[in-house]
Every structure is written in structure tokens, then in C-alpha cells.
Amino acid sequence: YGWIAPSFSGTQLKSGRLAVCADHIVGQWSAYPITHTISSVITSDDHGATWQWQAAGSPDGAEMNECAIATLPNGTLVMNARNYIGEKDYSVKRAIMWSHDEGRSWIGPYLNPDLSDPIVQGSMIAGEYTPASLGVGKPLFFTNAHSELDRANNTLMMSTSGGVRWEHVLQVQH
């Protein structure tokens, strides 16, 4: 790999496995222009003493990076990745991918129509401790600059469908 950039985002699976988001560039030693970026995970099965790269991730050449990861109640991993697909016509949507085997392989990417993105990092967490009185189960929460044009409209979004559909909760800042 040309370079590897671990993310701020990680999760612990029911098996105890740690999974940390990362992105890397294949066969490129400089950061720009960006080509062949892949979002994937680095995992540890011994409480962080050693780490393994999970080679599968977003498709090579799909130009995905700066991802966030969360675990759904059924154990499925969800990855939410920045990407450049649609950059030329300002139609970029966040890429969502799912893993049913602890990060070894991924389904997707699904360019989510609910998640506009000006090609910027975003944050996603599982609402594991969301009060039952709210009636939303254990949702995913996501924040980003919810705009296709610029880094504006910092918005909190929520998904109760494992990342398939997202609804607006609050615009934090314009």
C-alpha cells in the first residue's frame, strides 16, 4: 500500500474482536491526486496486542476514505465512508457498506440518497444506550456537513434501519 490512515472510529464485536476503520491507497506514494483509495478495517482478536489488516473493503478505485464504523444489535458491522463518486456534478452521497463476518468481507457500497456530502469526514455511532422511552430502538447516529456544495449545515441524522434510510434530527450549525 502507498499509505494507511487509521480512523477515529472503532467498535468491539460480541466475540470480543476490535475493529478500527482505516483507509489506504493502493500503489500510490503521494496523497494527491487521490486514486485507488479503499476503506476497510484493522482488527484485533487479542485485546489490541496484535492487529490484522482485513483486505476486503470498499472496491478498489471507488475512491473511498475517512470512514466510520458501528455494530448493529445483530452483530452486523456498518461502515459509512466519504467518497468522490459524483464529485464533478456535486451529487456525492455517503457510501454505506455492511459486513456479516466481522469485517472480513463487505456488501455494498450503497450510495445513500439521504446522506448528502461535500466530500468531508463524518462521524457515526450506535445508539446502544438510547432510552427505550424514545421508541427508536438502538439507532445509528451520524453527523456531517449535510450539503453537496460546501462544508456547511452540520447535521445530526438517525437511522433505525441499520443505515439503509436516514432521517434528519437536528441541524447543529449552518
The candidate with the shortest Cα–Cα distance to 108, out of 100, 119, 116, is: 100
Say how many residues make up the chain.
Answer: 174
pLDDT tens, position by position, 110-165: 999 999 999 998 999 999 888 888 888 999 999 999 998 889 899 999 999 999 99
Question: What per-residue confidence (pLDDT) applies to 63?
Answer: 81
pLDDT-derived band at 4 (thresholds 50, 70, 90) equals confident
* Residue type for position 127: G
Whether cis (ω within 30° of 0) applies to the bond prior to 33 is: yes
Q: Give the CA distances from residue 60 to residues 7, 83, 102, 134, 158, in Å, rounded to whole numbers and listed in that order.
A: 18, 12, 20, 40, 29
The candidate with the shortest Cα–Cα distance to 67, out of 9, 142, 3, 140, is: 9
Distance between CA atoms of 68 and 98, rounded to whole angstroms? Answer: 12
Task: Check whether 1 has a pLDDT greater than 70.
Answer: no
pLDDT-derived band at 24 (thresholds 50, 70, 90) equals confident
Contact 80, 124 (CB under 8 A): yes
User: Mean pLDDT over all residues of the chain?
Assistant: 89
Task: Check whether 171 has a pLDDT greater than 90.
Answer: yes
Distance between CA atoms of 36 and 77, rounded to whole angstroms? Answer: 23
Residues 6+ apart with CB under 8 A from 167: 114, 157, 158, 159
Strand order in the sheet with 140-145: 123-126, 140-145, 154-159, 167-173
Task: Check whether 33 has a pLDDT greater than 80.
Answer: no
This prediction's pTM:
0.90
